Amino acid sequence: MNSRGLRFLLLVLGEENAGLYYFNSSSLSFLRSIQADTFSKPAANPGRDDRQEALQYIFCHKVDDELSLLLKEYPVPLFVLGTGAMLIRFGRWIRGLTLINVAP
């Protein structure tokens, strides 16, 4: 470990929003929140799931754009927390991301 101690970015990824945090060996600081644009829960009728998936695709890329900027400002490792389904989608749609499943 270098003289600066442990440092990393943390992305808490939800289906409708995401939070970005910075940890620097002694504290966790909130950096920003990312909201999905017009996000709506899928209805029970067919065809809505395609719209929901398209909205999640747009949201994941919005998060990726924010991460690209933050990783230039904070050149540290990134950890991502989220539901299994959302992490799978995020990993499938975002290039250069390696997911390591540590949950049972």
Q: What is the pLDDT of residues 4-39, one digit of tens each?
A: 689 999 999 988 899 999 999 889 999 999 998 754
Q: How far is Cα 24 from Cα 6, in angstroms, rounded to an integer?
A: 6
State residue 46's pLDDT score. Answer: 53
For the chain, give every domain's residue range.
7-93
Q: Evaluate if pTM is beyond 0.95.
A: no
Maximum C-alpha span of the chain? 57
Go through 68-90 and write b for each residue having 16 or more CB atoms within 10 A of its CB, e for each that does not.
eebeeebebeeebebeeebbebb
CATH architecture of the domain covering 7-93 = 2-Layer Sandwich (3.30)
**Count of CB atoms situated within 10 Å of the CB of 6:** 12
